[in-house]
Structure 1
């Protein structure tokens, strides 16, 4: 089947848009369709070939520079690989080699030549349809508050609870050991002998409050006792003005929503708390908007689980050491900037998941 011929101006437009899209052929094809709705719409491979022509000093479709008339012909292997990638962009080079009979190294060279890159997926929170508007309204409300009072974010005591177990999260990608020869290292996991500790932590004006060990599973009654008896002691080092005027943030945990807890918050933090049925409503399923989730717990657990943990006391000691290390710096400016950015992106996507856009 003969290849479709384009005018010199069309080739120039394609090459210009390909550069505008930073070598992303799929994005270039989409932008071309949007910008020139009444012209013929080439698929992404045309943009790759046109760019290859100009890079080699040839003019597409003209035969200038020693090329034959028409567009440059790419190898059959290249056609096969690009077709497979178009059908399934998540296919591995190993699977491609098995299905096509082309060597893995040849496939990698073809993909590199055509400027394809292996991008990773981002894990995001599962949301329900009804969550979008609540997340959108929360972000709009918070940005308005921060615009009205630049210190508003820093006056919020952001809080969260998390469990630390024997076999917790650790990043195998960053875990390595420099050796002269391969020591065949291994790491035990998923022990039948399990133990865990529940911790509460807060962040107020960039200062880490805690972590504080909670007894057993959290309930409305135990959380109320924490608010009444333990939280005031944890805030002793906070300046009086900040302690008297700060806001308290809770997420959607059932213990935070208990009737007695809400009664205490309404009496103690009158119009100064964030949570379910609070003066400012915390949106459901939104750890991506809580600094404890998008910053603190990840840093803490990566430090805690960098080495295997043998017993409960070692876990408790490791948590305290990691917390002390993280607390040596104040993060007020960085956390506020990160939170505002997340709110703006959340608004831009109408309350949907946004962490893959950061």
Structure 2
């Protein structure tokens, strides 16, 4: 007897019962009720009834007990493959076991197994952990001593926006009645980019400000001495006089002339490489601009393809305005404190996946 679906077998047996066991009448009634499916011979109805009467599933020759043992064996096989390689896919399991992909998915779901995604993190060196823990301990202590300490720090960072920037296609979709087979061109030959600086102080976003395409110590020093002062004009005099400045450890921030200027302009009030408070190396996960701002900016900028550098600049400014209007920057203190505690708990290791 050729294989049919469980639904088809159920329909056959139901029709056979309606016809009081008359197989010929059952075959005719089945053709009448289900004109768009396969039409089994009258003998199939007899075999389906006999199989069920004998405790076997139609088409397998197995008893119900044997069916149960086969199902348990399939589950064990699937679970062993997942234990052997947790990164395997449903398709790979289906190919290796011969079990349908949907059945594999049901087995995994029944055992509460779900496909969790990897999270990209910054590569750390063995010696980085101690620096990260020390920085977090210092910051938490300062915030305990002065709850307004965090808002006195001008957190800064630079990022490059390119024509072909990062785009999470999982967040990009189009609602349609039918699949329009959408595509997105990438890797254009004519490339362009802009280098941006942004700061956050007291919940207020400063910038973004476009820096030279290649930032060196001289260019960064000019920015600190001239452009930054202009960007801070809207802040109160009290805020500017008591403000700290945070830099990360990039070469332009570490130059001798830059550090000399910072010691003069922000005496004992700057964070950075060899600063009064050491910025831990390879720690973008502790910088509010990295864990909050740039990701939001680029997700908004790249939701549509960018054609010109002027369009890229406009997109950045519009996205920055939306983020500032949202008011989220005023709430990043809590995220920073939670991250510092997470970093300490992880002994300076990766912690974002645990938050």
Indicate the TM-score class for this superposition, using the shorter chain for normalisation: 0.7 to 0.9
1:236 aligns with 2:228: no
Match of 1:205 among 196, 202, 206: 202
Q: How does 1:134-173 map to 2 (within 5 A)?
A: 134-173=131-170
Following the alignment from structure 1 to structure 2, what is the Cα–Cα distance between the partners of residues 184 and 88?
A: 33
Secondary structure, aligned partner of 2:188: coil
Match of 1:301 among 273, 298, 308: 298
1:116 aligns with 2:113: yes
Q: How does 1:176-255 map to 2 (within 5 A)?
A: 176-255=173-252
* Larger-Rg structure: 2
Distance 1:193 1:133, change over 3 A: same
Following the alignment from structure 2 to structure 1, what is the Cα–Cα distance between the partners of residues 70 and 191?
A: 62
Secondary structure, aligned partner of 1:242: helix
Partner of 2:253: 256
Q: How many correspondences in the alignment?
A: 288
Does the Cα contact within 8 Å between 1:207 and 1:331 map onto a contact in 2? no
Partner of 2:338: 341
1:280 aligns with 2:277: yes
Secondary structure, aligned partner of 2:154: strand
Partner of 1:4: none
1:329 Cα deviation after fit: 3.3
1:79 aligns with 2:76: yes
Following the alignment from structure 1 to structure 2, what is the Cα–Cα distance between the partners of residues 331 and 183?
A: 36
Partner of 1:130: 127
Normalised by the size of structure 1, how large is the TM-score? 0.79
Partner of 2:33: none
Contiguous gaps of at least 5 residues in structure 1? 1-67
Secondary structure, aligned partner of 1:199: strand
Following the alignment from structure 1 to structure 2, what is the Cα–Cα distance between the partners of residues 108 and 308?
A: 36
1:240 Cα deviation after fit: 1.1
Render the CA deviation track for 1:222-256: whole Å, top value 9, x for unaligned: 00000000001100111111111010000011000
- 172-181 vs 195-204, which moves further: 172-181
Following the alignment from structure 2 to structure 1, what is the Cα–Cα distance between the partners of residues 180 and 107?
A: 35
1:74 Cα deviation after fit: 6.8
Following the alignment from structure 1 to structure 2, what is the Cα–Cα distance between the partners of residues 74 and 307?
A: 48
1:197 Cα deviation after fit: 0.6
Render the CA deviation track for 1:254-291: whole Å, top value 9, x for unaligned: 00000000000000100000000000000000000000
Contiguous gaps of at least 5 residues in structure 2? 1-64
Secondary structure, aligned partner of 1:75: helix
Normalised by the size of structure 2, how large is the TM-score? 0.79
- 108-117 vs 269-278, which moves further: 108-117
